[in-house]
Structure 1
């Protein structure tokens, strides 16, 4: 028997598959080949990102609540405003200036050196004492000033002139702003306030106004270093009737004005909101004053404005840093 005969014999013994069997087998095979439905699972990285996102939303919601509490009129909030927000009051501005000044060295000139300050002045001529002349609304000039480190001599020069006017320094604390005087001032705000009260006690003005005026002179004329400057801002924030507003100085620079209103006049110290250096100061007529020569001026008229242009330390009067 050959091999083909053997295959025929074996095949003849096998039952032929019925059509129904073939259909059933086909269904089972196709069912086995079909992909099983699986629950969709995110990669582990995506799960972590989603969790962080949810946490971020929760934190953001929490911050919103805290910030709302901080502005609650009942004062129950404890959160402080972000540094990029403009200060709501003089105290906040003073605190930021103090933090920025922490660790900065106190640079004063030697007794034989000079503090240099360049300032731009504007003075209104629209008043009863200085009537409008040919449509002129005010006079403007730039001045340079030098103050010797020991306070014994001062010098001035108008811009465009080569003439320097010298005079002796005074010992009157109401007029002192020299480096020797500034070095004697305490940096602790409470002690500084008491010292300024004593130094202005003979000025015939209410105490707060006298201190405010002295601080303005020190800032403009003396160019104090950062830590003393911040302490002076803190003293200003503690005076009665002091508030802040957004203003532009004589040069158009944006600043924060710390001001006080008295007898129809607003006295203002203008501070850079980013560096906390002095930009200048101004006097604004508010109206309603019966004792000033500015009774005919419109409300809001700037009577006097001073912009601090530059400061520095030099070796001789007449030099520029």
Structure 2
């Protein structure tokens, strides 16, 4: 198998070989090893590898089919006249392994996620279907308690359904499903699903969103601050100077943190196409200050790898990722250095401000429907 080892060794310096090219090379090598005997034909059965966010594609290909993360299901035998196209077989695990690189950085992680996502079926969920997300959340001061330190004493499980056009959402309250009109989410499905699946273009769109939103908010804050100053007897010029001093522009580090958070919020609250999720990892990898960590454990004690960003050396935002499937596992914000937080007191090293884990995600046909 020296030829395959050479292919692996020089993979990073060469363009990625197509799966059919690698398959042909394997056949030639096997034929040579076995004295040019013609290899026996193998019948390849079409399968769907359903990843955490690849669930949406399969939900559309089979009526009422639901998805659980990490499950691989074979495509059903569907007659052609039913109008359902059975997807082509995915490359073998050996071929995929040759296309993956050792992970030592955020960019390596994003590259491998893109390789795996490229083997997934196209995602074509309809706007009236529902994204199902089940999460586990640790209780912290956000829920009226003290900031969490160490393992949480209390956790809450939450199920939610969001229509992909974000015209309705649903939750379970006291055992009963409640459906609400509109959306309560900062990052909407229409926005997410319109994002490019190219990492650089996606990041540019994210920064454009942040800059537009910040400009609008800052203009409003400047106006109200200046009006208050003028009501206290300041001249318009003095009031303007005071307003600009009290409402400074967004710093580069703050802008980068907002970009990281915006992407993370999109992954945590939605069922997404695998190619989009991989592009999100790629965009995160290009944000200045984002780092990779090889070992981590999430809220459910699942082994993971981490992408993180530290704001001004004291506040670390991080996402957890499955090291084999590259599925999104969860999010945490933790204080890594004591920090004076203005009138709000001092943030203490070790305080956990947010911590949640993604349990299940799928696209379903109606609110209240759960993955089996």
Q: Return the TM-score normalized by structure 1.
A: 0.66
CA contact (8 A) 1:125 1:139 kept: no
Looking at structure 2, the residues matched to 109 and 89 of structure 1 have their Cα atoms a distance apart, in angstroms, of 32
1:141 aligns with 2:156: yes
Aligned residue among 189, 205, 208 for 1:198: 208
Shift of 1:78: 6.2
Establish whether residue 254 from structure 1 lines up as the match of residue 291 from structure 2.
Answer: no
Segments of 5+ residues of structure 2 without an aligned counterpart are 15-96, 218-249
Give the root-mean-square deviation of aligned CA atoms: 3.6
**Rounded Cα–Cα distance in structure 2 between residues aligned with 1:149 and 1:314:** 10
Alignment of 1:1-321 (within 5 A): 87-125=103-141, 130-131=145-146, 138-157=153-172, 161-164=175-178, 166-169=180-183, 175-178=186-189, 180-201=190-211, 202-203=213-214, 206-245=254-293, 246-263=295-312, 264-291=314-341, 295=346, 297=348, 299-321=349-371
| 1:94 to 1:163, Cα distance in 2 relative to 1, 3 A | same
- Are 1:285 and 1:294, in contact at CA under 8 Å, matched by a contact in 2? no
Higher relative contact order (CA 8 A, sep 6+): 2
Structure possessing the higher radius of gyration over alpha carbons: 1
User: Cα deviations across residues 150-198 of structure 1 (Å, max 9, x unaligned)?
Assistant: 121222236x63242524127xxx82331x3333111111211111112
In 1, are the aligned partners of 2:339 and 2:347 still within 8 Å (CA)? no
Question: 1:126 and 1:91, CA in 2 relative to 1: closer, same or farther beyond 3 A?
Answer: same
Q: Given that residues 126 and 137 in structure 1 are in contact (C-alpha distance below 8 angstroms), is that contact kept between their aligned partners in structure 2?
A: no
| Maintained 8 Å contact 2:260/2:284 | yes
Question: Are the counterparts in 1 of residues 271 and 363 from structure 2 also a CA contact under 8 Å?
Answer: no
Distance 1:82 1:302, change over 3 A: farther
- Conserved in 2, the CA contact under 8 Å of 1:177 and 1:217? no
Q: How many angstroms apart in 2 are the aligned matches of 1:145 and 1:186?
A: 26
Q: Indicate if the aligned counterparts of 1:244 and 1:256 stay in contact, CA closer than 8 A.
A: yes
Give the CA deviation at 1:140: 1.3
Matches of 2:126 and 2:109, distance apart in 1 = 31
Count matched residues: 245
Maintained 8 Å contact 1:124/1:138: no
1:316 aligned counterpart, secondary structure: coil
Shift of 1:208: 1.0
Give per-residue Cα distances to partners, 1:229-249, cap 9 Å, x unaligned: 000000000001111112111
| Paired residues of 2:162 and 2:169 also in contact (CA < 8 A) | yes
Q: 1:78 to 1:142 in 2, by over 3 A?
A: same
Pick closer, same or farther for the CA change 1:187–1:132 going to 2, 3 Å.
Answer: closer
Kindly indicate whether the alpha-carbon contact (under 8 Å) linking 1:101 and 1:227 is maintained by their aligned counterparts in 2.
Answer: yes
Once residues 317 and 134 of structure 2 are traced to their aligned partners in structure 1, the CA distance between those partners, rounded to angstroms, is 21
Aligned CA distance change for structure 1 residues 117 and 307 (closer, same or farther; 3 Å): same
Q: Deviations over 1:181-225 (max 9, x none)?
A: 333111111211111112222147522111111101110112211
